[in-house]
Homo-oligomer: A and B are copies of this chain.
Amino acid sequence: MATIKDLAAKVGVSVATVSNVLNDKPNVGAAVRQKVLRAAKQLGYRPHRAAQAMRKGRTRAIGLVLPDLTNPFFPQLAQAVENTARSLGLLVCLIDSQGGAAGESDGLILLAQHGVDGIIWCPVGQHVPAPLRALDRPVVLIDRPRPGFAAVHSNYRMGGQLLAEYALQQGHTRIGLLSGPSNLESAQQRRNGFVRAFPSRLEVAWEVRVGFDGILTREARDTLLRRQRATLIVAGNDLIAINAIHFLAEHHVKVPDDVSVTGFDDISWARIVSPRLTTIAQPLAAIGTRAVALLQERMAGATIPSRATVFDVALVERESVKNI
């Protein structure tokens, strides 16, 4: 690997001048500038990132901390993040905490040690890990907002409202709720958006909380079997919806003939299962892209107030809801 010294020697100029050329600093003549640039291209010079990091305290790498890559929601996000980051010359360092606070904490320590310039984080619980407070780099939350942090996510409330409108439109008034965890803002807002849209016209027959990983608790399974005359089951996300449909099918309850189901997220599986899932689509790519843009602004030093950037969502109508 060619160094700045090699360039200096080749052009016959000091290393400082080479550095100034490479960083578009003033006070260097046009002729010399040309020569240096040409030599750099010719030798295929690439700055040694570790050396730069050392001097500047900037690594041009960012951390991406996710709870679980095997949850089909995240790969799309990760892909968008990686691609926009790369287009800005930023390297993405991945942490998959496997849903555990310990892994999350370890990962953040590792990122801190490597001196990443910023972190895009989808938090797993509601606490703030110690390593994160220690690290004074900008952080942008993704998908799961929290007070005091910058965040990029969908308009969950709007999603809930769209579902409520659609439910009424399709003639459903008695609803079963398979909501996500109550400690996640993103789950809470989906639920509230739905419930509070038409409180007088939509009746919530029952509500059970389950995790976003879609695993059905004993309570959820029992409730699904009884159903108490609910004609539409509104699930907290697609994973939950899909698992519910499966469970119902095993017990010879047909969706949408016997009961309708909606999801949330529009993960790719929503198109694959049968019946295909009526759900709320989030602009995942836009969210990922925006998150790195926001992070980059902050890394550049802008002290922007920590507010949330919210994206509109859309209803995708498929076959898991029957018109009654």
Contacts and interface: CB of A to CB of B under 8 A. Distances in A.
Q: Indicate the size class of the contact surface on chain A.
A: 35 or more
Contacts of A110: 86, 89, 91
A70 B112 contact: no
| Copies of this chain per assembly | 2
Contacts of A242: 272
Contact of A53 (B50, B64, B70): B50
A297 interface: no
A69 B44 CA distance: 31
B46 A94 contact: no
Interface stretch (A72-80, A138-146, A193-201, A227-235): A72-80
B95 A114 contact: no
A111 B90 CA distance: 10
A113 interface: yes
A106 B94 contact: no
B82 A94 contact: yes
A75 B272 CA distance: 18
A79 B100 CA distance: 13
Contacts of A64: 94
A59 interface: yes
Interface string A170-203: 0000000000000000000000000000000000
A22 to B, nearest CB: 14
Contacts of A75: 69-70, 72, 74-75
A82 B61 contact: no
A155 B159 CA distance: 45
Contacts of A53: 50, 53
Nearest to A77: B69
Contacts of A306: none
Given A83-B96, A86-B103, A92-B95, 18 more contacts: A47-B113, A53-B53, A54-B54, A60-B114, A61-B93, A69-B76, A69-B78, A69-B79, A75-B75, A79-B96, A82-B95, A82-B96, A86-B110, A91-B110, A92-B94, A93-B93, A269-B272, A273-B273
